[in-house]
Amino acid sequence: MGVTPIRKPEEKTVDKAAQIMIRRAEELGIETVYHRYEKQQPQCGFGSLGLCCWFCMMGPCRIDPYGVGPSRGICGADANTMVARRVLFHIANGEAAHGEHAFHVLETFKGAVEHSLEGRPYPYRIADERKLRSIAKRLGIPDAETRSVLDLAVEVVKKIEEDFTRTTEEPLNVFRAYSIESRRRIFERLGIVPRSIWREAFEALHRIHVGVDADYRSLLAHGLRTALADCYAMLTATELQDAMFGTPRPVESYANLGVLKHDEVNIVVHGHNPLLSTKVVEVARSEDALKLAKDVGAKGINVCGICCTANEVLMRLGIPSAGNLLHQELALATGAVEAMVADYQCVMPALADVARCFHTKLVTTMPIARIPGAIHIEWKAGRADEVAWEIVRTAVENFPRRARERVFIPDIKSKLIAGFSVEAIVEALGGSLAPLIEAIKRGDIRGIVGIVGCNNPKVPQDRGHVELAKELIANDVLVVGTGCWAIAAAKAGLMSLEAQALAGGRLRKVLEALKIPPCLHMGSCVDNSRILVALNAVAEALGVDISDLPVFGSAPEAMSSKAVSIGTWFVTQGVNVHLGVIPPVLGSELVTKLLTEDVEKLVGARFVVEPDPKKAAEIMLDHIDRKRRALGLPA
């Protein structure tokens, strides 16, 4: 395979390990996402503006942004309809991804409950009774503190199943349980209360079908509703995962490619759902697996992760992270990976080509996510232990095939503390959010910014994530976040206690007292729900709406449809959201205006687009200070 070298890797990524590995991949003739991005240049101008429509087979159609060529598609859709349909498509796509993730977790949780009731063995169980009781209490299930856990779990399953299958106009049970009064009133007034996790995405796909909804305003209004369904689907996933695997508590670990080991079997788990990756970790840590590894000459088994599956097993089990989205091929290019085990979402099909250059086995595991060239070992809830064993055995048996002379692991990794669930934050604060609220009131914590989302090769990897976070903490803003941002921040050392030194003087005192880093890792993509739960609690404690709080959201390197949906629900919940990559909406002035201006009149927040992280930080600080003044809080 010939590959045209990237001119300056340092312009493609701020991560030193990635810079080194781009060159290493080129030496080996391996093409990566960075190289494929270059090959795609220039990208289609119509598509970049949202002015390309392929939803029916009369098309594809495009609209000329300069007004010389066609101003409508063949069906008559204008620029506003085209762009709005595409936004709704992304939101529904994101909601479907999170909704199905939540559904798989629910099915597994239900299996655990039913097997326990019948006294039959099952690979999964309720590990966190306290969390289960808290979910039941929120859902309004009577006697949540005293009834048996299994009794409560049966009721919880019933309530959450209803949220997928409801055919009436009633709101989601989880929405009722986890939303605050002031927001509920706004959503009711706008007619965007989410009814069913399946229905909202289904309706969205119907609306964007040729000849259905052509009004950009109603398309986007349903976008808000679908995004809210996404929000509560994610919350469902997080809550049930905590109940099954435990609610995260602070845990120390490392991030970056240097977590791969020369003398151990390396297994990289990748994707989003912890159902299988947690099992792989359990098996890999067993005495029997260790013996197997020693028998083939390895010192042990090293499980590490990529993307949000990494975040899941990091948060609960301290498993190190090998990197975020753009690191996935680079991890394989080290030649040190015996098996990469993928579930779903953000797993690049190109991995199969990179794996083929080495002894590495790319293992797909989910029935809905296969990759040509990968081996498929299918996860089934009832067989999860056997499946995990088969995967670990496959990896271990592959270790002797590793070509040691081709192994190249950059010796770069950073120490981190992760595991900041809302429960863990409350514990760190001594049992209530009161000290945090007081610090916000005094101005020691000037505001809170949640940074989330992906890497996108359109911008240098991690630059937006890291520069924005540094700028904010230097200005006494506490930064929390999830997903690939969390991994970027960890790789940059911002999740270590040493990073307290980078914080402004007032914030630093708070961090030192609490012994926490200035950037708090709150989990995987679905765990954005934890940020909402925290914001709800702060708003209620201050007696205001979320839109009144000195907070901001950001996705500096957003890439996926899931990110579009998450950004939209944060805005709908009243949090301004900054995007560092220009989304494909500029082809419609009206849609752009609605998303960046008019929506604020409806929900109290809007999107802000600013590619420069320093300027983005200024916008956020200005907003935070305005909100503080409005609340009568000192600067």
| Interface region with ligand MSK, contact rule CB under 6 A, candidates 197-205, 377-385, 468-476, 558-566 | 558-566
The nearest distance, CB 106 to ligand MSK, in angstroms, is 20
Is 559 among the residues that bind ligand MSK (CB under 6 A)?
yes
Rank residues 271 and 550 by Cβ distance to ligand MSK and give the closer one: 271
Residue 605 tokens read as 């927040």
Sheet holding 551-555, edge to edge: 519-521, 477-481, 447-451, 551-555, 577-579, 607-609
d(CA 264, CA 267): 9
Binding to ligand MSK (CB under 6 A) within 261-280 occurs at 272
The nearest distance, CB 550 to ligand MSK, in angstroms, is 25
The nearest distance, CB 345 to ligand MSK, in angstroms, is 6
Is 560 among the residues that bind ligand MSK (CB under 6 A)?
yes
CA dihedral 143, 147, 149, 153 (to 10 degrees): -50
Is 305 among the residues that bind ligand MSK (CB under 6 A)?
no
Rank residues 123 and 523 by Cβ distance to ligand MSK and give the closer one: 523
3-state secondary structure of 201: helix
Rank residues 183 and 270 by Cβ distance to ligand MSK and give the closer one: 270
Crossing angle, helix 307-317 and helix 274-284, to 10 degrees?
50
Query: Alpha-carbon torsion 324, 329, 335, 337, what sign?
Result: positive
Query: For the purposes of burial, counting CB atoms within 10 Å of the CB of 266, is it exposed (0-12), middle (13-18) or buried (19 or more)?
Result: buried
Binding to ligand MSK (CB under 6 A) within 395-434 occurs at none
The nearest distance, CB 514 to ligand MSK, in angstroms, is 26
Rank residues 139 and 563 by Cβ distance to ligand MSK and give the closer one: 563
- Which residue matches tokens 């090998």? 322
Measured CA to CA in angstroms, residue 499 lies from 89, 314, 504, 520 at distances of: 40, 19, 11, 11
Question: Pick from 279, 491, 521, 562: which binds ligand MSK (CB under 6 A)?
Answer: 562
Is 340 among the residues that bind ligand MSK (CB under 6 A)?
no
Rank residues 214 and 306 by Cβ distance to ligand MSK and give the closer one: 306
Is 227 among the residues that bind ligand MSK (CB under 6 A)?
no
Question: Pick from 99, 453, 464, 587: which binds ligand MSK (CB under 6 A)?
Answer: 453
The nearest distance, CB 108 to ligand MSK, in angstroms, is 20
The nearest distance, CB 218 to ligand MSK, in angstroms, is 28
Question: Pick from 346, 395, 522, 532: which binds ligand MSK (CB under 6 A)?
Answer: 346
Binding to ligand MSK (CB under 6 A) within 94-133 occurs at none
Question: Pick from 17, 30, 91, 307: which binds ligand MSK (CB under 6 A)?
Answer: 307
Is 319 among the residues that bind ligand MSK (CB under 6 A)?
no
| Interface region with ligand MSK, contact rule CB under 6 A, candidates 56-64, 250-258, 393-401, 556-564 | 556-564
Q: Which of 171, 489, 521, 564 is nearest to 311 (CA)?
A: 521
- Which residue matches tokens 């503390």? 417
3-state secondary structure of 571: helix
Q: State the CB neighbour count (10 A cutoff) for residue 276.
A: 27
Rank residues 563 and 603 by Cβ distance to ligand MSK and give the closer one: 563
Residues 138, 177 contacting (CB under 8 angstroms):
yes
Size of the site for ligand MSK (CB under 6 A): 17
Give, as one character, the DSSP assignment of residue 632: T
| Interface region with ligand MSK, contact rule CB under 6 A, candidates 111-119, 471-479, 560-568, 593-601 | 560-568
| Interface region with ligand MSK, contact rule CB under 6 A, candidates 55-63, 257-265, 495-503, 554-562 | 554-562
CA dihedral 130, 133, 135, 139 (to 10 degrees): -170
Q: What is the CA radius of gyration of the chain?
A: 24
Is 177 among the residues that bind ligand MSK (CB under 6 A)?
no
Q: Which of 455, 565, 522 is nearest to 97 (CA)?
A: 565
d(CA 571, CA 223): 12
Measured CA to CA in angstroms, residue 259 lies from 131, 243, 313, 374, 410 at distances of: 32, 29, 14, 24, 9
Question: Pick from 325, 440, 605, 617: which binds ligand MSK (CB under 6 A)?
Answer: 325
Residue 416 tokens read as 């981190």
Is 531 among the residues that bind ligand MSK (CB under 6 A)?
no
Crossing angle, helix 79-118 and helix 197-207, to 10 degrees?
160
Residues 576, 238 contacting (CB under 8 angstroms):
no
Rank residues 381 and 563 by Cβ distance to ligand MSK and give the closer one: 563
The nearest distance, CB 105 to ligand MSK, in angstroms, is 15
Is 563 among the residues that bind ligand MSK (CB under 6 A)?
yes
The nearest distance, CB 98 to ligand MSK, in angstroms, is 10
- Which residue matches tokens 């629910």? 106
What DSSP line would sit under 520-557, residue for residue? EE--SGGGHHHHHHHHHHHHHHHTS-GGGSSEEEEETT
The nearest distance, CB 97 to ligand MSK, in angstroms, is 8
Is 466 among the residues that bind ligand MSK (CB under 6 A)?
no
Rank residues 518 and 523 by Cβ distance to ligand MSK and give the closer one: 523
Is 493 among the residues that bind ligand MSK (CB under 6 A)?
no
d(CA 329, CA 354): 7
Binding mask 495-524 for ligand MSK (x = CB under 6 A): -----------------------------x
In Å, the largest CA–CA distance within the chain is 72
d(CA 500, CA 479): 12
The nearest distance, CB 324 to ligand MSK, in angstroms, is 6
Is 18 among the residues that bind ligand MSK (CB under 6 A)?
no
Is 454 among the residues that bind ligand MSK (CB under 6 A)?
yes
d(CA 182, CA 539): 10
Q: Which of 292, 287, 317, 273 is nearest to 392 (CA)?
A: 292
Binding to ligand MSK (CB under 6 A) within 44-73 occurs at none
Rank residues 174 and 325 by Cβ distance to ligand MSK and give the closer one: 325
| Interface region with ligand MSK, contact rule CB under 6 A, candidates 125-133, 292-300, 361-369, 559-567 | 559-567
Distance of CA 600 to the CA centre of its chain: 25
d(CA 396, CA 283): 12
Rank residues 224 and 564 by Cβ distance to ligand MSK and give the closer one: 564
**Which positions touch ligand MSK (CB under 6 A)?**
272, 307-308, 324-325, 345-346, 453-454, 483-484, 524-525, 559-560, 562-563
